[in-house]
Amino acid sequence: MEELLAHLKAGTAIDRPIAVVGAHPDDETLGIGSRFALVRRLRLIQLTDGAPRDLISARREGFADWQGYAAAREAEVECALETLGAAGAERRRYGLPDKEALDSLPDIVDRLVADLAGMAAVITHPFEHGHPDHDTASLAVSLACRKLQQRGEATPLRLEFASYHLRDAGRVFGCFRPESGPPELEIVLTPAELARKQQAIACFKTQAEMLRQFPLTSERLRPAPDYDFRQAPGPALYEQLEAMITSAQWLAQADAMLKRLS
């Protein structure tokens, strides 16, 4: 793990296969996009297409239906990957609805078991109650790695990138919850890396209002903790957002799924 983290921090090429699991189009770019071009065997796994299935969300962004919104978000990802020099990355798209990934947890885990097999490492979201799909990605990766281990197969190193969450003082972007896991690694971007990432983030025009809240001068990684996904990690930011489930609902559904899948 130390060698991989050292390569990521230094910005040197990585030959080992690395998977990045993002809940939505843009999460992977925000989290670790500056390092995409360095990973020669990069697999990007996208759980949702970023489009809620209601007409209100699509029409608010200027689209007639959710399909048009999803297509626009896919085009934004392609633009960002081209900008970051990672257009040739292998991609796996699960195509689930935004905000509803937890409903498909068993299927996600089964697909991840196959898609993470042979990977040296997987990088995904922390469990921080920032967005229910982020929490589901963290849970699904943990369960998939556990299944690989139970089958006697090599298990990828689990790493996570900083996202967003809620503290008493308000919303926090681009940082982990304090004292919530192992020590983190801060990757400070060079001026050239920063300029390239800013250009990539500009591709996500439908998400501009949200993304402008993220600091882009550095990226943060850490080994994934062994979370207790039955306990809230803190206040749920997504309870402040439109058309989201509550923390209690997510935890209850996750507990039921864990009992089925464990």
pLDDT above 90: residue 1: no
Give the dihedral sign, CA 71/73/79/81: negative
Establish how many alpha carbons lie within 13 A of residue 75's alpha carbon, considering only the half-sphere containing its beta carbon. Answer: 8
For the stretch 101-135, pLDDT in tens is 999 999 999 999 999 999 999 999 999 999 999 99
* Three-point CA angle 57, 173, 105, nearest 5°: 55
pLDDT score recorded for residue 219: 97
Contact 153, 146 (CB under 8 A): no
Residues 6+ away with beta carbon under 8 Å from 44: 19, 20, 22, 28, 81, 89, 90, 91, 92
pTM of the model: 0.96
Closest CA to 53 of 100, 103, 97, 94: 97
Domains belonging to the chain, first-starting first, are: 2-261 (3.40.50.10320)
Q: What phi and psi values does residue 25 have, to the nearest 5 degrees? A: -65, 120
Contact 44, 23 (CB under 8 A): no
**Three-state DSSP class for 48?**
strand
Distance from chain centroid for Cα 191 = 25
Q: Which residues of 179-190 are buried (b: 16+ CB within 10 A; e: fewer)?
A: ebbeebbebebe
For the stretch 55-106, pLDDT in tens is 888 998 899 999 999 999 999 999 999 999 999 999 999 999 999 999 999 9
pLDDT score recorded for residue 241: 85
For the stretch 144-165, pLDDT in tens is 999 999 999 999 999 999 999 9
